[in-house]
Amino acid sequence: MTSVLLSAAHVTRRFGAFTAVDDVSMRVQPGEVVGLLGANGAGKTTLIRMLLGLIAVTSGRVDLLGGPPDRERRRRLGYVPQGLGLYGDLTVRENLSFSARAYGTAEPALPPGLAGQAGVLVRELPLGAQRQVAFLAALAHSPDVLVLDEPTSGVDALARAALWDTIRAQAERGAGVLVTTHYMQEAQQCDRLLLMSDGRLVGEGSEADIIGSTTAVAVSTGDWAQAFAALNAAGAPVMLAGRAIRVANADPAELARVLSAAGIEASLRPVPATIEERMLMLSRQAKAS
């Protein structure tokens, strides 16, 4: 087995004058779950589509299982796209038969959660159940590489926990997993993270590596909504974590001045920054440039 399952080397993709992915290099190794983060429009899906050989690179090189992502290598790949890639007008059983035949593997058995649903049209299933079917279809042939584009978007907490169970089980049996998410709690479940912004790879490694030099100040006050409004009106990069107000890369003295001018009593203390705050600073930089 190669030690790198999936990689990009200086990959760029342009659409006309627009550069969707700009000189990105990354890799996924056996047994690891790599989280790909970034705002909507950062280039995550375009990068994935190049890694899978679904669209061509403008420049650079993509390797899947030791070579270009051709049909033969894609047989050892499992992919769950954002849109799930199921046929809504086919039943659960028909969808699973179709993908099993395409991959030349045995049809997977239905888990207890889907028992009795074999004959139901996929479009008539709730979203969480549809995702389960898409996972089953993608995993039936025990792929070496698993690529998941926002696998848990719109899924409730219980179903999300179950999907992550499946993801970790795949890594434990040696597959390499690349997963995009907007849920930062999920990012923390990954072994390694990649952060994209405006088509470029701007951070890589652990959560701490991604956060880098970003700092944050927590604002404690009786009326968080009022303080949030005042800081927001002053143009501060305000974030919320539950009901806690946080401001990224801020000068506490300046925040204190804004709050006292608005007649709000609050206490300020520096706290460790989050990935969201790093993303907020990146988006403000992009807007300013």
Q: Given the rule CB under 8 A, which residues bind another protein?
A: 38-42, 82, 126-129, 150, 153-159, 161-162, 164-165, 168, 182-185, 188-189, 225, 228-229, 232, 238-243, 275-276, 279-280, 283, 287
Beta-strand ranges (E) seen in the chain are 6-15, 18-28, 33-38, 59-64, 77-80, 145-149, 176-180, 192-197, 200-205, 216-221, 238-241, 244-248, 266-271
Residue closer to another protein, measured from CB, 9 or 39: 39
Residue closer to another protein, measured from CB, 90 or 162: 162
Residue closer to another protein, measured from CB, 61 or 168: 168
Q: How far is the CB of 176 from another protein (least distance, A)?
A: 18
What is the crossing angle of helices 127-139 and 157-172, to 10°?
A: 10
**Largest separation between any pair of C-alpha atoms in the chain:** 69
CB-CB neighbours of 121 under 10 Å:
15
Reading the block at residue 288, the tokens are: 């300013």
**Spatial distance between the Cα atoms of 168 and 114, rounded to a whole number of angstroms:** 21
Q: In terms of C-beta distances under 8 Å and separation of at least 24 residues, what long-range contacts does 66-74 make, across chains too?
A: 66/2
Residue closer to another protein, measured from CB, 103 or 228: 228
Q: How far is the CB of 182 from another protein (least distance, A)?
A: 5
Q: How far is the CB of 82 from another protein (least distance, A)?
A: 8
Cβ partners under 8 Å of residue 90, min gap 6: 98, 121, 122
Residue closer to another protein, measured from CB, 135 or 164: 164
Task: Burial-class residue 283 by CB neighbours within 10 Å (0-12, 13-18, 19+).
Answer: middle
Q: How far is the CB of 158 from another protein (least distance, A)?
A: 5
Q: How far is the CB of 181 from another protein (least distance, A)?
A: 10
Q: How far is the CB of 12 from another protein (least distance, A)?
A: 20
Cβ partners under 8 Å of residue 190, min gap 6: 33, 34, 35, 179
Residue closer to another protein, measured from CB, 106 or 288: 288
Q: How far is the CB of 96 from another protein (least distance, A)?
A: 20
| Cross-strand partners of 238 | 247
Residue closer to another protein, measured from CB, 11 or 167: 167
